[in-house]
Amino acid sequence: MWKKEDKLIRDLLLNSFGAFFLSMLTSSLGTLVDGLVIGNVMDTQCVAAFGLVNPLNFIFAIIGSILGSGMANGCAGALGRNDREQACRLFSITRIAGIGFSIAVMVIIVACIDPITVLLGAEKGTEMFANAREYLLFYVLGLPAITATKLLSSIMPLDSDRKRIVAATAVMTVVNIAGDLFCVSVLHAGLAEIALVTTISYYAGTLVLMHHFIKKDIIFRFSYRDPNWKGLFGIMRKGLPKGVSRVTSSVRGIFINRTAAAIAATAVAGFSLQANLNYMTNAVVMGLAQSFMLVTSLYYGEENQAALKRVVRAACRLELLFVGLLSLALLALAPFVAKLYLGSNADALPAGTLSVRWFAAGLLFQGFCILFADYLQVTGKVFCANMVYLIEDVVLTAATVSILAEHFGMGGLFAGISLAHVLTVLCIPVFIMAVNRRKIRSSDDLLMLEDGFGIAPGNEYVQTVTDLEGAVAASEALIRFCEDRGVDRKTAGRLGLAAEEMVANIIQHGFSDGKPHSIDLRALYKQDDGVTLIIRDNCRPFDPKERFRYLTDDDPTANIGLRLTMNLAKEVTYTSAMKLNNVTIKV
Identify whether residues 482 and 563 lie together within a single domain. yes
Work out how many domains the chain is built from and give that number: 2
Higher per-residue pLDDT: 546 or 234: 234
Residue 4 has pLDDT above 70, yes or no: no
The total of other beta-carbon atoms located within 10 Å of residue 130's CB is 18
Q: Does the residue 15 lie in any domain?
A: no
At 207 the pLDDT is 92
pLDDT category, 369, cuts 50, 70, 90?
A: very high
Q: Does the residue 17 lie in any domain?
A: no
**Mean pLDDT computed over 52-70:** 73
Q: Does the residue 522 lie in any domain?
A: yes
Q: Does the residue 501 lie in any domain?
A: yes
At 72 the pLDDT is 80
Contact 162, 580 (CB under 8 A): no
Identify whether residues 392 and 499 lie together within a single domain. no
Higher per-residue pLDDT: 277 or 223: 277
CA atoms lying within 13 Å on the CB side of residue 115: 4
At 48 the pLDDT is 73
Identify whether residues 139 and 47 lie together within a single domain. yes
The total of other beta-carbon atoms located within 10 Å of residue 451's CB is 4
Q: Does the residue 79 lie in any domain?
A: yes
CA–CA separation, 174 vs 157, rounded Å?
23
pLDDT category, 84, cuts 50, 70, 90?
A: confident
Q: Which of 11-15, 398-402, 409-413 has the lowest mean pLDDT?
A: 11-15
CA–CA separation, 274 vs 281, rounded Å?
10
Residue 409: its H or E element: helix 397-426
Higher per-residue pLDDT: 363 or 442: 363
Identify whether residues 211 and 260 lie together within a single domain. yes
Identify whether residues 389 and 466 lie together within a single domain. no
Task: For the chain, give the percent of residues with pLDDT over 70.
Answer: 88
pLDDT category, 391, cuts 50, 70, 90?
A: very high
Max mean pLDDT among 68-82, 398-412, 532-546 falls in: 398-412
Name beta bridge partners: 580: 577
State phi, psi for 520 to the nearest 5 degrees. Answer: -100, 125
Residue 422 has pLDDT above 90, yes or no: yes
**Mean pLDDT computed over 330-345:** 80
CA–CA separation, 345 vs 80, rounded Å?
52
pLDDT category, 510, cuts 50, 70, 90?
A: confident
CA–CA separation, 135 vs 260, rounded Å?
21
Residue 555 has pLDDT above 60, yes or no: no
Identify whether residues 390 and 526 lie together within a single domain. no
At 368 the pLDDT is 93
SS3 576: strand
Q: Does the residue 452 lie in any domain?
A: no
The parent domain of residue 30 ranges over: 4-9+23-436
For residue 219, give the nearest of 152, 296, 295, 155 by alpha carbon: 155
**Mean pLDDT computed over 193-206:** 87
Identify whether residues 477 and 558 lie together within a single domain. yes
Identify whether residues 431 and 510 lie together within a single domain. no
Residue type, 549: R
At 23 the pLDDT is 66
**Mean pLDDT computed over 125-142:** 81
Name beta bridge partners: 574: 583
**Mean pLDDT computed over 43-69:** 72
Q: Where are the beta strands (DSSP E) in 485-570?
A: 519-526, 530-537
CA–CA separation, 146 vs 64, rounded Å?
8
Q: What is the pLDDT of residues 143-188, one digit of tens each?
A: 888 888 888 887 787 777 777 888 888 888 888 888 878 877 777 7
At 322 the pLDDT is 92
At 328 the pLDDT is 94
Q: What is the pTM of this model?
A: 0.75
Pairing state between β 571-577 and 519-526: unpaired
**Mean pLDDT computed over 272-276:** 78
Residue 275 has pLDDT above 60, yes or no: yes
CA atoms lying within 13 Å on the CB side of residue 380: 8
Q: Does the residue 441 lie in any domain?
A: no
For residue 268, give the nearest of 139, 126, 135, 410 by alpha carbon: 410
**Mean pLDDT computed over 16-34:** 68
Higher per-residue pLDDT: 549 or 80: 80
At 94 the pLDDT is 84
pLDDT category, 366, cuts 50, 70, 90?
A: very high
pLDDT category, 344, cuts 50, 70, 90?
A: low
pLDDT category, 421, cuts 50, 70, 90?
A: very high
At 40 the pLDDT is 67
Q: What is the pLDDT of residues 225-244, one digit of tens each?
A: 666 677 777 788 888 888 88
**Mean pLDDT computed over 408-424:** 89
Of 420, 436, 452, which closes a domain? 436
Q: Does the residue 446 lie in any domain?
A: no
Q: Which of 205-209, 260-264, 328-332 has the lowest mean pLDDT?
A: 260-264
CA atoms lying within 13 Å on the CB side of residue 533: 30
At 135 the pLDDT is 81
At 367 the pLDDT is 92
Identify whether residues 464 and 431 lie together within a single domain. no
Of 436, 470, 498, which closes a domain? 436
Residue 59 has pLDDT above 70, yes or no: no
Q: What phi-psi label fits residue 202: left (phi over 0), alpha (psi between -120 and 50 degrees) or beta?
A: alpha
* H-type alpha helices, 333-348: 334-342
At 549 the pLDDT is 62
Q: Which residues contact 124 (CB under 8 A, 6 or more apart)?
A: 114, 117, 118
Identify whether residues 108 and 241 lie together within a single domain. yes
pLDDT category, 475, cuts 50, 70, 90?
A: confident
Average pLDDT, the chain: 80
Identify whether residues 385 and 497 lie together within a single domain. no
Task: For the chain, give the percent of residues with pLDDT over 90.
Answer: 9
At 149 the pLDDT is 84
At 192 the pLDDT is 77
Identify whether residues 426 and 482 lie together within a single domain. no
DSSP string of 5-63, one letter each residue: GGHHHHHHHHHHHHHHHHHHHHHHHHHHHHHHHHHHHS-HHHHHHHHHHHHHHHHHTHH
At 225 the pLDDT is 66
At 239 the pLDDT is 81
CATH number at residue 475: 3.30.565.10
